[in-house]
Amino acid sequence: MTNHGNGTEPDVRAWRVSAAGTPPSISDVTLRAPGPGQIRVRIAACGLNFADLLMVKGTYQETPEPPFTLGLEVAGTVTATGPDVDHLAVGDRVAVYGGHGGLAEEGVFDAIRAVRLPDSMTAVEAAGFQIAYGTSHVALDHRARLQPGETLLVLGAAGGVGLTAVEIGKRMGATVIACARGADKLEAARAAGADHLLDAETDDIREAVKALGGADVVYDPVGGDQFTAALRACKPEARILAIGFASGEVPQIKANHLLVKNVSVLGLYWGGYLAFRPQVVTDSLATLIGWYADGKLHPHVSHVLPFERADEGLELLRTRQATGKVVIEMPS
């Protein structure tokens, strides 16, 4: 990072998208001073998400107007505070869900989106914590009301959010069926607490889940044919959580299938709560960070790459080679 002028507006390097559909590249960006209710953060690590890939294409529901900086979630240290920020101070270690702007050496974010980190949590763990764990906890607890003793089917169970759904579902007392592709990914799901393993490449999801008694709750970040198979393996009054569509196919739901078994399909966009009911996210993160501090959660980061190789990290997500999270570490 190079300072210019009086040092209040340093140039920082950032991975920028110049136009929808064009690959991101490293550019220098002038960083403005934090305004009212904002903080400036020296970023130590940035977690990558499938949403970053959608933003590059311009298809994510909250894609900023280009040019913009990628990176939904970060961990780092507060270096400056704007007016009206009284709950954070310079030097505090924080995790921030900014929605974008995180794949850079520094960033300016709304302070309300920052949470203090326990000393035991590393920047790499924290950078991949909020979205993955927050999505699964709000989905399973707030939306689906998962109960102890129920059966939870997790599709895409070795991905960034899927693996946390396995871990949290088990923590909440469910019997967890994990579905993922290949032995390595299934082993990651087993290590996270899954009771039963299904290989999406070779197993008949519908028949295998029905043989295990059916599913009370389905956690689906995949969509496509797997959603259809899972719907047919649901118990009466089951709840299906539509988390995302990593398969590239948004399922078309036949309402009569929902009617016959009294099944509910529940959408979950974690970031959306920040706009209309932020307390849901705040309370959830407080619970999750407490669980982490008590040693009850174990974030899984499969790849840590340096800032200059962030494009390789995005490719790992695109080709589904990662288990858990891919995190980009900034130069110290």
- At 9 the pLDDT is 65
> What is the residue-wise DSSP string for 215-230?
EEEEEESS-HHHHHHH
- Which comes out higher in pLDDT, residue 43 or 32? 43
At residue 1, does pLDDT exceed 50?
Answer: no
d(CA 277, CA 269): 12
Cβ-based neighbour number of residue 33 at 10 Å: 11
Instruction: Write the burial class of residue 120 (CB in 10 Å: 0-12 exposed, 13-18 middle, 19+ buried).
Output: exposed
- At 319 the pLDDT is 93
**Mean pLDDT rounded to a whole number for the chain:** 94
What confidence category does residue 230 fall into, taking pLDDT thresholds of 50, 70 and 90?
very high
d(CA 275, CA 156): 27
Least Cα distance to 218 among 191, 276, 206 occurs for 206
Q: Kindly report the CA angle at 96 between 153 and 61, in degrees rounded to 5?
A: 60
Mean pLDDT computed over 144-151:
98
Q: Are the C-beta atoms of 101 and 71 separated by less than 8 Å? A: yes
The residue written with tokens 């259809």 in the block is 228
What ranges make up the beta strands (E) of 21-171? 25-30, 38-47, 68-69, 73-81, 93-97, 106-110, 114-116, 151-155
d(CA 196, CA 214): 12
d(CA 57, CA 13): 22
- In percent, the amount of the chain with pLDDT more than 90 equals 90
Q: What is the pLDDT of residues 280-295, one digit of tens each?
A: 998 999 899 999 999 9
Instruction: Write the burial class of residue 135 (CB in 10 Å: 0-12 exposed, 13-18 middle, 19+ buried).
Output: buried
What confidence category does residue 4 fall into, taking pLDDT thresholds of 50, 70 and 90?
very low
Pairing of strands 114-116, 234-242: unpaired
Q: Are the C-beta atoms of 144 and 241 separated by less than 8 Å? A: yes
d(CA 244, CA 129): 18
Backbone angles phi, psi at 331, to 5 degrees: -65, 140
pTM: 0.88
Question: What type of residue sits at position 185?
Answer: K
Mean pLDDT computed over 96-121:
95
Least Cα distance to 148 among 241, 217, 235 occurs for 217
Q: Are the C-beta atoms of 15 and 25 separated by less than 8 Å? A: yes
Sequence-distant (6+) residues with CB within 8 A of 244 are 50, 161, 220, 221, 222, 223
Collapse the DSSP code of 201 into the 3-class scheme (helix H, G, I; strand E, B; otherwise coil) and give the result: coil
The length of the chain, given as a count of residues:
332
- In percent, the amount of the chain with pLDDT more than 70 equals 97
The residue written with tokens 């996270």 in the block is 192
DSSP state of 118: -
Q: Are the C-beta atoms of 219 and 141 separated by less than 8 Å? A: no
Cβ-based neighbour number of residue 275 at 10 Å: 9
Q: What is the pLDDT of residues 317-332, one digit of tens each?
A: 999 898 889 999 998 7
Cβ-based neighbour number of residue 3 at 10 Å: 10
Backbone angles phi, psi at 307, to 5 degrees: -50, -45
d(CA 268, CA 189): 22
The residue written with tokens 């190079």 in the block is 2
Least Cα distance to 244 among 329, 143, 139 occurs for 139
At residue 7, does pLDDT exceed 70?
Answer: no
